[in-house]
Chain A
């Protein structure tokens, strides 16, 4: 990770009196995956629209690949790939026709869609109309479409939302491959586990502001609570107890629990990003 692919400084945007994005600043380096986490209405989609040139910021500056998003929209859009949450493919076209059409819009001549379709596991259905595809297949084609110009930056909006495990896994693999290739990736997701595994850093966005931005590990260490969950049986009754690992008397508590009769199970529990998010914002991601 070296050069900055995305730099956002003091950007705000309001719909009338409602502030959707309020003075946010962050950057994403090439080859970095930034997880953008927040509940519905937090400002994630507005941020992506601002970054991809669909809307102009009312205040602040956005630099994409060193270019101003308001002035160099054409050049920027030729070097980014956007995968939307909503499926927006041409259903009456085949996968091949969809990809060929968009390739022409990027000025790519003699485009061969087969390698890309193989990569997302759709080569055997390449000539079928997309209207016959399952949700997962359509989403994989959406991902393939956003890769066809070998983008320097990928904007992925809930790419695995509601998908079957096979499709989700295929998309996660592509994200890892693209990051390894050097593409900067802005990933919005509700799936905390996915964000934890895929993201180099995560940003928590809430009410249009960034509540926290760091690596998942640092966030969990700084704001999460590690614990041990112990189950015991006493007088025929199963009891469960959680012992925090960071308390001053953790050792004594653990000794007492482990020494007691009827010990059934003992599990360490790490802090989750969701718990950290709730700690920081006072609300859950699904709200």
Chain B
């Protein structure tokens, strides 16, 4: 029974996995890569400005503040707690509105307010919160803004921030290392250490071995791919569609891994092929990072057919209906790759027997 033996192999490989450097590398890489990019380009460690408000009366400002985009607003129970939170850097700024503040404001008076800034808050957050507070007060006072601001976009208004354009690269690295390199390395090790020969004189068939190794790559790549998407805040957009794209990506990666592992005679040969051939798999990310390059070139590479849907869904909010053509082509490529896995597997078995 093919499935049962493949399952035993998978169980063994998952058990041995934590003792294998490539296995650990595959798991750690996407996390490290994400953190590195987020540290360089910001956002992961830069939460939205945090404003606390204590209302000692019944101010309209509180109600308006709840609707502000891009600012986290909290409402501590007392001015003392608010001040403590600002001191502890749990808030960037805190506003205490005295009783009757709105009435005094609307009567044209200049009521006092206490506005605390945390010493550890970012300067950019202080500016944002200061302007926000003045805007809120002006709104309640009913006074018009002294200036009219006209927004003029400079450059490409359709452009996507660089940090978002790097998403395909991070996901691709996560999926390829876990989905392709892990099963390829595992298969080559079985050949090098001759354990594959030992397996093939038991009731285990080569199909079992390939299925087990492929499943190892698939499971690992699905896990690392999902974690990568989650770390990059991409999973919330259209989770089901993204996971379907991830299935395609991991399937393709696992098949590439099995072909590589079947073809390479030893670890040295595997890494030589990987270093020289990975460009074929990685090339499409160049066209996402630099969108001004002729995009048709990206379509020559197989990984484009999951990277493009992934980018469209995660960044542009597309649905499956918008990306089904690419997905269909991607699954067709997987079908062709499956034939490649079978052919190279047979070749490997013959080579092993003749060795």
Contact = CB atoms under 8 A, between A and B. Distances in A.
Q: Do A and B bind each other?
A: yes
B275 interface: no
Contacts of A74: 203, 205
Nearest to A155: B201
Given A105-B203, A106-B203, A54 B197 contact: yes
Contacts of A89: 195, 198
B203 A77 contact: yes
B66 interface: no
A92 B353 contact: no
A145 B198 CA distance: 10
Contacts of A84: 194, 197-198
A91 B193 contact: yes
Contacts of A15: 354
B20 A92 contact: yes
Contact of B201 (A53, A86, A91, A93): A53
A107 B203 contact: yes
Contacts of A107: 4, 203
Interface in B297-349: none
A77 B8 contact: no
B204 interface: yes
A80 B5 CA distance: 18
Interface string B12-56: 100110011000000000000000000000000000000000000
B297 to A, nearest CB: 43
Contacts of B20: 92
Given A55-B353, A104-B8, A82 B201 contact: yes
Interface bin, chain A: 20 to 34
B200 interface: yes
A97 B13 CA distance: 12
B244 interface: no
B84 to A, nearest CB: 53
A52 B198 CA distance: 11
Contacts of A105: 5, 8, 199, 202-204
Contacts of B202: 77-78, 102, 105-106
A157 to B, nearest CB: 11
A80 B201 contact: yes
A74 B1 CA distance: 10
Interface residues of B, number: 23
Contacts of A101: 8, 12
Contacts of B354: 15, 55
B201 A52 contact: yes
Contacts of A88: 193-195, 197-198
Interface string B188-225: 00000111011111111100000000000000000000
A90 interface: yes
Contact of B203 (A52, A78, A91): A78
A18 B193 CA distance: 27
B200 to A, nearest CB: 7
A74 B5 CA distance: 12
B43 to A, nearest CB: 40
A15 B12 CA distance: 35
Interface string A104-120: 11110000000000000
Contacts of A54: 197, 200-201, 352-353
Given A92-B19, A106-B203, 19 more contacts: A53-B201, A54-B201, A77-B201, A78-B202, A78-B203, A80-B201, A84-B194, A86-B194, A88-B197, A88-B198, A90-B12, A92-B20, A93-B15, A97-B15, A101-B8, A101-B12, A105-B202, A106-B202, A107-B203
28 contacts: A15-B354, A54-B352, A54-B353, A55-B353, A74-B205, A78-B202, A78-B203, A80-B201, A82-B201, A84-B194, A84-B198, A88-B197, A88-B198, A89-B198, A90-B12, A90-B16, A90-B193, A90-B195, A93-B12, A93-B15, A93-B16, A101-B12, A102-B198, A102-B202, A105-B5, A105-B199, A106-B203, A107-B203
Interface of B: 4-5, 8, 12, 15-16, 19-20, 193-195, 197-205, 352-354
Interface of A: 15, 49, 52-55, 74, 77-78, 80, 82, 84, 86-93, 97, 101-102, 104-107, 145
Q: Which 5 A-B pairs have the closest CB atoms?
A: A88-B194, A82-B201, A105-B202, A104-B8, A55-B353
